[in-house]
Amino acid sequence: MAEAWGLSLPEEYRGIYAILHPRYSDLPHPDEVFPPKGPSSSTSPRAFNLAEYLLDRNVAEGRGGKTCLHYESNRYTYAQLLELSNRTANALKELGVGPEDRVLLVLPDSPEFAATWFGALKAGAVFAMANTLHPAEDYLYYLDYTKAPVAVVHASILDKFGPAAAEAKHLKAVLVVGAGSDSGRHLDFDRAVGRQSGRSAPAGTTADDLAGWLFTSGSTGRPKAAVHAHGDFLYNIERYALQVVRYNEDDLTVSVPKLFFGYATGTNLMFPFAAGGATALFAERSTPERMFDVIERWRPTVLTSVPTTINGMLSLPGCERRDLESLRVCLSAGEALPPELYRRWVDTFGVEILDGIGSAEMFHIYVSNRFGAVRPGSLGTLVPGYDARIVGPEGTDLPAGEQGTLWIRGGSTALCYWGDREKSRATFLGDWCVTGDQFTRDAEGYFSYGGRTDDMLKVSGIFVSPLEIEDCLTGHPAVREACVTGAEDEGGLTKPKAWIALRESHEGSETLARELQEHVKARLSPYKYPRWVEFVAELPRTDRGKIDRRRLREGRA
């Protein structure tokens, strides 16, 4: 079947499509099911359920007895996780969850997270995911925004989640993992799920039916949900996961970001399962120390990470003696990866980093570096099946080497932002998604990130990318991390301000501040140097792990 589609997959991955569940025996090429150029195609959507594809298909292909999930000292086979997911789907339906109802997951990484995520899809519902570290007031926002009739949460956060649940108008029940007993609308997850049948026919969804909400980072206000259909996820799986990262049956994955973040939902759940591989989950915070322990315990082949943790692991004393030999690749996204950090990682551990960029609006990564063709400081080239434009202020395409706003299109584009027509119309223009990211593309097709459009600074009448100054600052031996924002001088003009987190062996001082300013002046145009340097113990971060520039601009370091 893969040959008939003309896919460019390596030979070892063609089996992914060669033996499908009978229900998919007539599944055409993904381009026909999920047209990459939007609704202009007249092709009708075909029957497709993402959970069935990722779970039932693996059992049908003979992997039922294969371990697919490691958690603490427990192992779950594909058949066991399928049964648990079926029971969860039946429990959700018993509680009144119907087609396209949202199910809100507020869980640490665990088998219950995976079972609920799959179970919601099998029930025809829509998954929505929130961080377990949110403050109490945020949970009421998520409940009201999603109008979820059922939420699945962990007992450890009930002190924060409970008051929000009591006020939520649409909430019918809360399934609590680790509760031990029922209490009003709060039902014990194990009891509610355990009494259900282990069989559950997948909902009769199509590729165009709603499947999941992926929340934006909320850097300029409350997070909004990018709404995705079942087919969006398969489109990126086939392009990025199988063709770029080359997930396979022998892969075992671990992740720094947690599963509530779409970046990790892809790399640490969907992608390994699509290839018949496995994942290892842990509930604890992903500290650099913990990541070394996790890698040495489970011996993964694919590590999903972010620049902050890459830097943190490299900064630990004795890191060069830790065993990372099982890894065949490290993935990085979420923030720009400084070239020097890339080189230090590869020199220390001998593990390639594939840096890339994606977004909630496109589900996952659409520009990525490739094995054997990594360019430090660049995010690589377009993932197969995606198109891009670099657009200037006048709305015209810019030539190679000029910086402008990135427009992207492909078969994984979200339908809209839920409940925000104005923002949807500004972002989703026909086939194109306007990212709000500043990029350049060189003559060979390599993309370089210039920062968010709304983060750009106009200094002395010239636009300046904070990222350029940050990369320069992190090249100084005293600097662990740097963030540059705009601040007004006494004349009301915008100038760069640097927020610096130092390495352990250095202390902030006026002398060091002047040294950093001179460091930038010597390497960049003089007007780009930071007029103010403020030292902080840590840079504030959003729940996605990105530097929270808004807090810094507001002076809340």
Is the per-residue pLDDT at 53 higher than 50?
Answer: yes
* DSSP conformational letter for 417: B
Is the per-residue pLDDT at 495 higher than 90?
Answer: no
- Cβ distance 328 to 336 under 8 Å? no
The Cα–Cα gap between 436 and 430 comes to 16
Sequence-distant (6+) residues with CB within 8 A of 493 are none
Is the per-residue pLDDT at 396 higher than 70?
Answer: yes
pLDDT value, residue 21: 33
Sign of CA dihedral 259, 132, 232, 205: positive
Is the per-residue pLDDT at 41 higher than 50?
Answer: no
The pLDDT > 70 percentage for the chain reads: 88
* DSSP conformational letter for 46: P
The Cα–Cα gap between 491 and 346 comes to 46
Is the per-residue pLDDT at 59 higher than 70?
Answer: yes
pLDDT value, residue 1: 25
Do 456-553 and 232-452 have the same topology in CATH?
no
Higher-confidence residue: 265 or 470? 265
Confidence of residue 463 (pLDDT cuts 50, 70, 90): low
- Cβ distance 256 to 284 under 8 Å? no
Least confident segment among 283-297, 334-348, 442-456, 523-537: 442-456
CATH of 50-66+78-204, one of 3.40.50.150, 3.40.50.980, 3.90.550.10, 1.10.357.10: 3.40.50.980
Is the per-residue pLDDT at 239 higher than 90?
Answer: yes
Q: Which two tokens stand for residue 11?
A: 């030979």
Sequence-distant (6+) residues with CB within 8 A of 129 are 104, 105, 106, 117, 213, 215, 259, 260, 261, 265
* Every domain of the chain and the residues it spans: 50-66+78-204, 232-452, 456-553
Q: What is the mean pLDDT of residues 197-204?
A: 96
pLDDT value, residue 436: 85
Structural element, H or E, at residue 3: helix 2-5
pLDDT value, residue 422: 94
Is the per-residue pLDDT at 141 higher than 90?
Answer: yes
CATH of 456-553, one of 3.40.50.150, 3.30.300.30, 3.30.2310.20, 3.30.465.10: 3.30.300.30
Confidence of residue 28 (pLDDT cuts 50, 70, 90): very low
Q: What is the mean pLDDT of residues 83-107?
A: 98
- Cβ distance 307 to 440 under 8 Å? no
Dihedral angle computed from the Cα positions of residues 58, 63, 65 and 70, in that order, rounded to the nearest 10 degrees: -70
The pLDDT > 90 percentage for the chain reads: 73
Task: Give per-residue pLDDT as tens, 64-92.
Answer: 999 999 999 999 999 999 999 999 999 99
pLDDT value, residue 60: 96
pLDDT value, residue 336: 78
pLDDT value, residue 491: 66
Q: What does each C-alpha distance from 262 to 267, 271, 361, 451 come to in angstroms? A: 9, 12, 10, 21
> How is domain 232-452 classified at the architecture level of CATH?
3-Layer(aba) Sandwich (3.40)
Least confident segment among 21-30, 301-310, 548-557: 21-30
Confidence of residue 464 (pLDDT cuts 50, 70, 90): confident
Task: Give per-residue pLDDT as tens, 503-534.
Answer: 988 999 999 999 999 999 988 877 789 999 99
Q: Which two tokens stand for residue 368?
A: 């990525």
Q: What is the mean pLDDT of residues 292-301?
A: 98
- Tally Cβ neighbours within 10 Å of residue 75: 13
